[in-house]
Chain A
Amino acid sequence: MSKQVVLNIQKASLSFGDRGIWKDLELSVAAGEFMAVIGANASGKTVLLKAILGQLKLSSGAIELLGKSVAHGSRQIGYIPQHRQADSGLPLRARDLLRMGLDGHRFGIPFPSSATNKKVSEMLEAVGAEDIANTPIGQLSGGQLQRIRVAQAVIDNPKLILADEPLSALDLKQQSLVAELINSQRQQNGAAVLFVTHDVNPVLDYIDRVLYLANGQFRIGTPDEVLRSDVLSKLYGRNVDVVRNQGRIAVLGSSDHTHHDDEKWT
């Protein structure tokens, strides 16, 4: 049985004025698929997410979520943003941030409800965050906040999870914990994942395919098909070395910060 297509991008191009970001992008993501989006700075990774959310208009082509185009966001989408330290003075605890993913769009006052509380508690347990449930979000560490973010993104059973550099600013241990969490949540709820990252290593074990953006062009395939010296050299139009060492990958010579974490090699 072939899996349902969640996200379908057809001949999509996007440019700001004269500057083309990407052209004729073709991508189809199925339910349960984990897709990494990698590429140089300013190669249009985050822009792609905004286009999928309907916040940026395509120059041409179409993007469909479950067969329909998205206008301004969608409740079928769970969104995990980049880590940013939250203000300490906000009236928001971890469980409140999580709950907004479930019913934050609804009108009225968030009265305490036992059904909602149960769901929130289950989700807190699933991401191992029961002990920080009542901590104001301004006091959470980066890893703790991102774990709550993952829970917030999946609590309403979205069909598509969009993650925009969710691991940046985390230490290596937290990176692998949060990556593992995103993967296990995807397996449980069967959502497709589009995971934007500058470093593929923390999710290398989980991803099914890679979308590599550079120079306004793209390559799609399994990590073994795309993350190769010959493929990426062709994409960048110059000599690029893909080095594998102890299960980690580094792209050297792309000279525009696409190198994956080589500074962290020890």
Chain B
Amino acid sequence: MERLFDFSDYGQLIPLVQNSLIAGLLLGIMGGLIGVFVMTRDMSFAVHGISELSFAGAAIALLVGLNVALGATIGSIVAAIIIAIMGTRAKDRNSIIAVLMPFGLGIGILALALYEGRAANKFGLLTGQIIAVDNPQVFWLIATSLVVVIALLVIWRPLSFASLDPEVAEARGVPTKALGIIFMLLLALAVAASLQIVGALLVLTLLVTPAAAALRLTASPLLVPILSMVFAALAVVGGILLALGGGLPISPYVTTLSFGIYLVARVIEKVRVRQVKS
């Protein structure tokens, strides 16, 4: 139990991870926001597929000594472009993702096997970092999150229209195809950023679970993204704070919080339905 939660010296630790907390907060806001579109566009599987190729890019960067964040971003953008071009129909999309995913993972594992540096670096790419996110990486995370959040706010309405009511949106002159490609690129950035905190295997916990929980509680197009952002930020920031003392990766804390929020949302939904019926 002491390994899981250790709050001694807590007061001294907090300032050290201040940057990580800011990055985590922004990451939560970004994940919660883009997660809404991941859900409405039925892209959960694509998130997973992109994250495996992003992992490959990060692993190769680690091996050849480049910036890991840059490697992760290049990997996920390549994946997003392939999926956007080849997977316009849902069925094609799923099979292309399923083909890409193990390939990306395989390349990544090869690069890690050849890498001779610290083992913690290797493991971190798949399952998440121990809290010490260094400064250049924090800067990268903050920049990526800001780009994604601002771009999403700008295209929010037409992207919603194109995602929720594509046939009518197209008839009304909304550029649904271009918006789809822009969305995939933003998703790639979001995945690459999330990967560095929670790891490639757990990206869904930030980009899908919070939005899924929010959708259980309301159908309001304004409340869903707000709740989703709050849930994701709670999970990341809470996860970082809980993990502080233990020296364990933060991902299990983040994923558990995220899952817990989802469970609570489902229970609330159940209770509400019962109240309506009685």
A103 proximal to B (CB < 8 A)? yes
The minimal Cβ–Cβ distance linking A113 to chain B, given in whole angstroms, is 12
* A53-B170 contact given A103-B157, A107-B157, CB 8 Å threshold: yes
A89 proximal to B (CB < 8 A)? yes
B36 proximal to A (CB < 8 A)? yes
A77 to B157, CA, bound (A): 19
* A105-B158 contact given A74-B172, A77-B171, A152-B168, CB 8 Å threshold: yes
A92 proximal to B (CB < 8 A)? yes
Interface range, A side:
20 to 34
A22 to B39, CA, bound (A): 40
Q: Which residues of B contact A223 (CB under 8 A)?
A: none
B-side interface residues, number (CB < 8 Å)? 30
Point out the residue from A72, A106, A152 that lies within 8 Å of B175, measured CB to CB: A72
Contact A105 B167 (CB under 8 A): no
* A79-B164 contact given A105-B173, A110-B222, CB 8 Å threshold: no
A42-80 Cβ-contact flags toward B at 8 Å (1 or 0): 000000000001010000000000000000111101010
Q: Which residues of A contact B153 (CB under 8 A)?
A: 108-109
Q: Which of B93-145 contact A (CB under 8 A)?
A: none
Q: Which residues of A contact B219 (CB under 8 A)?
A: 90-93, 136
Contact A90 B154 (CB under 8 A): no
Contact A91 B168 (CB under 8 A): no
B224 proximal to A (CB < 8 A)? yes
A130 proximal to B (CB < 8 A)? no
Q: Which residues of B contact A162 (CB under 8 A)?
A: 171
Q: Which residues of B contact A89 (CB under 8 A)?
A: 39, 215
A153 to B177, CA, bound (A): 22
A92 to B224, CA, bound (A): 10
Question: Count of A-B contacts with CB under 8 A?
Answer: 100
Contact A93 B220 (CB under 8 A): yes
A162 to B174, CA, bound (A): 16
Contact B170 A73 (CB under 8 A): yes
Q: Which of B140-160 contact A (CB under 8 A)?
A: 153-158, 160
Segment of A94-102, A196-204, A236-244 in the binding face: A94-102
* A109-B157 contact given A89-B215, A91-B219, A93-B219, CB 8 Å threshold: yes
A107 to B159, CA, bound (A): 9
* A79-B221 contact given A105-B157, A109-B156, CB 8 Å threshold: no
Q: Which residues of B contact A96 (CB under 8 A)?
A: 220-221
The minimal Cβ–Cβ distance linking B6 to chain A, given in whole angstroms, is 40
Contact A73 B167 (CB under 8 A): no
Interface centre among B40, B164, B220 (most CB of A within 10 A): B164
A77 to B169, CA, bound (A): 11
Q: Which residues of B contact A103 (CB under 8 A)?
A: 157
Point out the residue from A79, A92, A108 that lies within 8 Å of B171, measured CB to CB: A79
A221 proximal to B (CB < 8 A)? no
Interface residues of A: mostly helix, strand, loop or mixed? loop
* A106-B171 contact given A89-B39, A89-B215, A136-B219, CB 8 Å threshold: no
Interface centre among A92, A97, A152, A162 (most CB of B within 10 A): A92
B2 proximal to A (CB < 8 A)? no
Q: Which residues of B contact A17 (CB under 8 A)?
A: none
A253 proximal to B (CB < 8 A)? no
Q: Which residues of B contact A73 (CB under 8 A)?
A: 170-174
A89 to B232, CA, bound (A): 19
CB-based nearest A residue for B158: A105
B165 proximal to A (CB < 8 A)? yes
A81 to B214, CA, bound (A): 29
Q: Which residues of A contact B174 (CB under 8 A)?
A: 73, 104-105
Point out the residue from A91, A101, A108 that lies within 8 Å of B172, measured CB to CB: A101
A112 proximal to B (CB < 8 A)? yes
The minimal Cβ–Cβ distance linking A32 to chain B, given in whole angstroms, is 21
B residues with a Cβ closer than 8 A to A are 36, 39-40, 153-158, 160-161, 164-165, 167-175, 214-215, 218-222, 224
Other A-B pairs beyond A97-B164, A136-B219, 10, CB < 8 Å: A74-B172, A75-B173, A89-B215, A91-B221, A100-B160, A104-B172, A105-B157, A106-B158, A109-B156, A110-B160
The 5 closest A-B pairs by CB, nearest first: A104-B161, A79-B171, A73-B173, A136-B219, A91-B224
Q: Can you list 6 residue pairs at the A/B interface with Cβ under 8 Å? A: A91-B40, A91-B164, A100-B169, A104-B165, A108-B153, A110-B156
